[in-house]
Amino acid sequence: MRSVEVVMTGRGGPEVLDVRERDVPAPGRGRVLVRTEAAGVAFSEVQMLRGRYLNQPRFPFVPGYDLVGRVAAVGEGVDAALVGRRVAAMTRFGAWSELVEVPARHLVPVPEEVDAGEAVALVTNGVTAWQMAHRAARVKAGDTVLVQGAAGGVGTLLAQFAGAVGARVIGTASAGKHDALRELGVEPVDYRGDLASAVRRLAPEGLDAVFDHVGGQGIRALWPLLRRGGTLVSYGSRSTLKDEGHPLRPYLPLAARVLAWSLLPNGRRAKFYYVRPTATFRSDLKTVLSLLRDGELDARVAHRLPLDRAAEALGLLVDGGVTGKVVLDA
């Protein structure tokens, strides 16, 4: 079988993406070929353009963190009844292709009645938001939480999950995105300027949870905003995008700081979060997809472009004007 794919050829801007065609071999043992319907575009791919994403493959490679599609072929040891089934998977790399080989154990069924683009917006982002809200921070009714990047693919979902349990949500975004946040029930603040002071004015008694995807020095101002019993969840590294040297280098001081905070006997907690394709991930993805099917969740797809316009799609994230998720239709 032949497959069109998008290749990230080297460091640079979105212009380094190249659309190519190749022969796809039969899937290996325990694996399947998925014919992609939709693939997600994420900030991780922006980091990959700069060579700043941890453990990314060497250039050239096919990016793409997640997909929704149908099983086209199965390898040895895989039930042939899977062929034709609609599925989702978190791939981390390789999803920007018409045909993608995936371990069969990583597949999650996708309801037929949901849109592929909306479903793929929930694969990595949805599970990340769900697990941070319900497993890492255990947000509950009456809590006040701060969501950094609340207009992004994870942030819009995290705000909805927190709001659904009765929490008050404060979210950071540029001023042009504040109306979109208000539609989600979020109290917006501009991330530029003195963020800590702005949040203190809104929540003088402190926060029960902080969700930070930025890292860097700015996270130091967020820790004192927590009240006793509160949790800071660090799940990203946006501030490292322009750093130089080994990609691991800027994470070391952040890791040391979060570890030190987690050991302090002051009733507050600090945690790292990283999404992994475990059995819990698959169970949580089924839950999130069910919420979408039942109309209880807005996937917030901001832009949809065909696979061969991946450079344009990634450029939208580079420019920073997106509210929600960018999706590639294959």
DSSP letter (8 states) at residue 71: E
Percent of the chain whose pLDDT exceeds 90: 85
pLDDT of 214 above 80: yes
Please state the φ and ψ torsions of residue 189, each to the nearest 5 degrees.
-135, 150
- Are 84 and 223 part of one and the same domain? no
- Are 134 and 258 part of one and the same domain? yes
pLDDT of 263 above 90: no
pLDDT of 241 above 70: no
- Are 264 and 151 part of one and the same domain? yes
Looking at residue 58, which CATH number applies to its domain? 3.90.180.10
- Are 11 and 67 part of one and the same domain? yes
pLDDT band at 236 (very low <50, low <70, confident <90, very high): confident
Count: domains in the chain: 2
In whole angstroms, how far apart are CA 230 and each of 169, 205, 268?
A: 14, 12, 5
Query: DSSP assignment of 283-326, as one string?
Result: HHHHHHHHHHHTT-----EEEEEEGGGHHHHHHHHHHT--SSEE
Boundary (domain end) residue, out of 257, 272, 287: 272
Is 286 contained in some domain?
Answer: no
pLDDT by residue (tens digit) across 173-211?
999 999 999 999 999 999 888 999 999 999 999 999 999
What six digits make up the tokens of 75? 């390898």
Is 278 contained in some domain?
Answer: no
Please state the φ and ψ torsions of residue 296, each to the nearest 5 degrees.
-100, 5
Domain that holds residue 116: 2-121+299-329
- Are 196 and 104 part of one and the same domain? no
- Rounded to a whole number of angstroms, the distance between the first and last alpha carbons of the chain is 16
- Are 132 and 168 part of one and the same domain? yes
- Are 153 and 197 part of one and the same domain? yes
In the beta sheet, which residues pair with residue 66? 90
pLDDT of 153 above 80: yes
Residue 7's H or E segment, with its range, is: strand 2-8
Is 284 contained in some domain?
Answer: no
- Are 111 and 220 part of one and the same domain? no
Is 61 contained in some domain?
Answer: yes
- Are 214 and 198 part of one and the same domain? yes
pLDDT by residue (tens digit) across 280-313?
999 999 999 999 999 999 999 999 999 999 999 9
Is 110 contained in some domain?
Answer: yes
Boundary (domain end) residue, out of 272, 289, 315: 272
Give the pLDDT of residue 266.
85
More confident residue, 247 or 288: 288
The answer to whether 121 and 153 have CB atoms below 8 angstroms apart is yes
pLDDT of 243 above 90: no
Question: How many angstroms separate the CA atoms of 329 and 309, rounded?
Answer: 10
- Are 138 and 169 part of one and the same domain? yes
Is 290 contained in some domain?
Answer: no
- Are 114 and 134 part of one and the same domain? no
Question: How many angstroms separate the CA atoms of 310 and 17, rounded?
Answer: 8
Is 285 contained in some domain?
Answer: no
- Are 95 and 136 part of one and the same domain? no
Question: How many angstroms separate the CA atoms of 235 and 127, rounded?
Answer: 13
Question: How many angstroms separate the CA atoms of 249 and 253, rounded?
Answer: 8
Looking at residue 234, which CATH number applies to its domain? 3.40.50.720
In whole angstroms, how far apart are CA 324 and each of 159, 177, 230?
A: 12, 10, 27
What sign has the CA pseudo-torsion 31, 36, 39, 44? positive
Is 291 contained in some domain?
Answer: no
